[in-house]
Amino acid sequence: MSVLIKGGHIVTAVDDFVGDILIEGETIVEIGASLGANADRVIDAGGKYVIPGAVDPHTHMEMPFGGTVTCDDFTSGTTSAAFGGTTTHIDFCLQAPGQSIPDALVTWHEKIERCPPVIDVSFHMAITDLHDGGRLEDVAKVPEQGVTSYKLFMAYKGAIMVDDETLFRTMQVAAKTGALVMVHAENGDAIDVLVKQALAEGKTEPRWHAATRPPITEGEATGRAIKLAHLAGCPLYVVHVSCGEAIEPVAAARAAGWRTWGETCTQYLFIDETRLEEPDFAGAKYVYTPPPRPVHNQELLWKALQTGVLSVVSTDHCPFRWEDQKALGRDDFSKIPNGGPGIENRLHMLHHFGVREGRLTMNKFVDLCCTQPAKLFGLFPRKGTIAVGSDADIVVWDAEKPLTLSAATHHSNVDYNLFEGTEVIGAPELVMCRGEVIVENDELVASPGSGQFIARARFGEALRPKAGVAAS
Ligand code: URP
Ligand code: ZN
Ligand code: ZN
């Protein structure tokens, strides 16, 4: 099957031109002017942007956490992603207490077999325990399975937090295996003390979630992780950077030439700590970690994206229904499952408030949402760009399409939307994953299972296009 995407305004992280894209099967085979009159299908993209399918490197599908399980499985979560223009996501395979690393990977592969994805999927290995289940030899073997990043949590004491020994030993393994280490950087010990003290004083409402996780706890852990990674000699990626206190050590490390990268997430650019005070327990919707911050941090985050201090915007899609899951913490904020939804709306929000409002160029928008995540996580050049030989993961983006973001119309199983009622202009008209149209005219036209598991390359290595495709 050949498809021609005709006359679109093609934008990658570096290109900006009007042209045609010819696709054979799953792959882009030619880019130019007046191509392929004989294609099986011609898609008229005149007047529309044509951008790479977006890559979301931070999601939590069907993940046991906080006494419950995130409410999107791989089918519902990836359907939601597809409607927003995301065609690949990388999910955290979370080692359960006492579980071996190989068994954890089997568990996550079973999840995508039981609830098959609509878009392509890869995994990070989230190591929670090296003492019982997790042997360092097993950690070293993980990249052989195409899982080329290790994640460690420096918070969530008593649950999935690791100590500095575990963190540092994993970093030493990563230095040898070519894996990228990712950290959730907060000082979990200090936070645990602050949470206990707040509860002892009868402070139980959602707003205490932010008050007990002040920005300095994120800044301290970020600096510590950066120094340990430098000592161990591994590359480091700091997830969900939320505040100036954490931006500073990332900026300093990068200025010094250290192999440090950071992401922020959509919600930190738009939602501030006052939302936790919404009445009738509505504040629980914003209980994610790190918490929403004082509003001045939003400008610091935009600046960090603009200047390359932060490299990626992800979603940290970790959905818990408000009605019955967030409700677990009605009488105690520390029991509210931590996490928020967002996989569907990242491009909507960044295009409207980033590109349309002049904070980002179209190239930078593509770089942050598609190209940098693909490069940092061993998916490039198969994913994250529009090039001959790359997978035909493509979004025809209508920059004039109005949309109101809402739980009533989104495609996740979650019962609220962090950006409820926000009116944006700009949305996908058509979404394609490996040459298959998966969303068109606001309808899902693919079936679960159209997405595949993608084995990623090691840090800094290219994921080569499939054999038999000549790159020009
Ligand atoms: O609140 C959050 N972010 N939940 C998901 C787990 C994590 O810390 O990324
Ligand atoms: Zn986290
Ligand atoms: Zn997360």
pLDDT digits (tens, 9 = 90+) for 48-86: 999 999 999 999 999 999 999 999 999 999 999 999 999
pLDDT(177) > 70:
yes
Q: Indicate if ligand 1 lies below 6 Å from the C-beta of 60.
A: yes
At 83-115, the pLDDT tens digits run 999 999 999 999 999 999 999 999 999 999 999
Residue pair 304/293 in contact (Cβ under 8 Å)? The answer is no
Kindly state if the Cβ of 318 falls inside 6 Å of ligand 1. yes
Mean pLDDT taken over the chain: 97
> pLDDT tens-digit profile of 368-427?
999 999 999 999 999 999 999 999 999 999 999 999 999 999 999 999 999 999 999 999
Q: Which atom of ligand 1 is nearest to the CA of 58?
A: 9
Nearest CA, atom 9, ligand 1:
316
Instruction: Give the rounded distance of the alpha carbon of 77 from its chain centre.
Output: 12
For ligand 1, is residue 289 a contact (CB within 6 Å)?
Answer: yes
Look at the alpha carbons of 131, 136, 139, 141 in this order and tell me if their dihedral is positive or negative: negative
Whose C-alpha lies nearest to ligand 1, atom 6? 339
pLDDT tier at 467, thresholds 50, 70, 90 = low
pTM for the structure as a whole: 0.98
Query: Which of 415, 411, 408, 373 shows the shortest CA–CA distance to 393?
Result: 373
Q: Give yes or no for residue 299 having a pLDDT over 70.
A: yes
Burial 203-237 (b: 16+ CB within 10 A, else e): ebbbbbbbbbbbbebbbbbbbbbbebbbebebbbb
Ligand 3 geometric centre to CA of 5 (Å): 35
By C-alpha distance, which of 356, 344, 435 is closest to 389? Answer: 435
Q: How many angstroms separate the CA atoms of 14 and 11, rounded?
A: 7
- Is the model's pLDDT at 356 over the cut of 70? yes
| One-letter amino acid of 409 | T
Phi, psi (degrees; rounded to nearest 5) at 231: -65, -40
CA atoms within 13 A on the CB side of 378: 25
User: Model confidence at 469, in pLDDT bands (50, 70, 90)?
Assistant: very low
State the closest ligand 1 atom to the C-alpha of 287, by its place in the atom list counted from 1: 1
Ligand 1, residues 124, 162, 184: which to mutate, most atoms within 8 A of Cβ?
Answer: 184
Distance (angstroms) between ligand 2 centre and the Cα of 262 equals: 13
